[in-house]
Amino acid sequence: MLGSQSLTEFRGIVPAAMIAGLTPAEIKEATYQAMAYLGIARIYPFIVALNEVLRAQGVKLPLPSQSTSSLPPRVGASRN
């Protein structure tokens, strides 16, 4: 849908994807991943629409961080 710029269909499929068991974080991640292939100019309207649909579904935004990694300490950095 993102590649063909089917924004109306995207708005309809997001709630269906949630009913099918996808989490808001998974849907957002899939949308963000498309940016590498399609570019920000084509994906931005979908990010905006996704946030609108998620809010309408009662999802509190922003979503909690999904980060699972941390930076190692720098050599010579203060450890206060």
pLDDT tens-digit readout, 26-76: 999 999 999 999 999 999 999 999 999 999 999 999 999 888 888 777 776
**Mean pLDDT, range 15-26, rounded to an integer:** 97
Q: Does residue 13 lie in a domain region? A: yes
Contact 52/7 with Cβ under 8 angstroms? no
Res 80 pLDDT > 60: no
Task: Quote the DSSP letter at residue 61.
Answer: S
Q: Does residue 22 lie in a domain region? A: yes
Separation between Cα atoms, residue 60 and residue 54, nearest integer Å: 8
Q: For residue 42, what are its two tokens?
A: 């084509």
What pLDDT is attached to residue 76? 67
**Mean pLDDT, range 7-29, rounded to an integer:** 97
What pLDDT is attached to residue 68? 82
Amino acid at 20: A
Helix, strand, coil % in the chain, rounded to nearest 5: 55, 0, 45
pTM of the model: 0.82
* Structural domain boundaries enclosing 48: 7-56
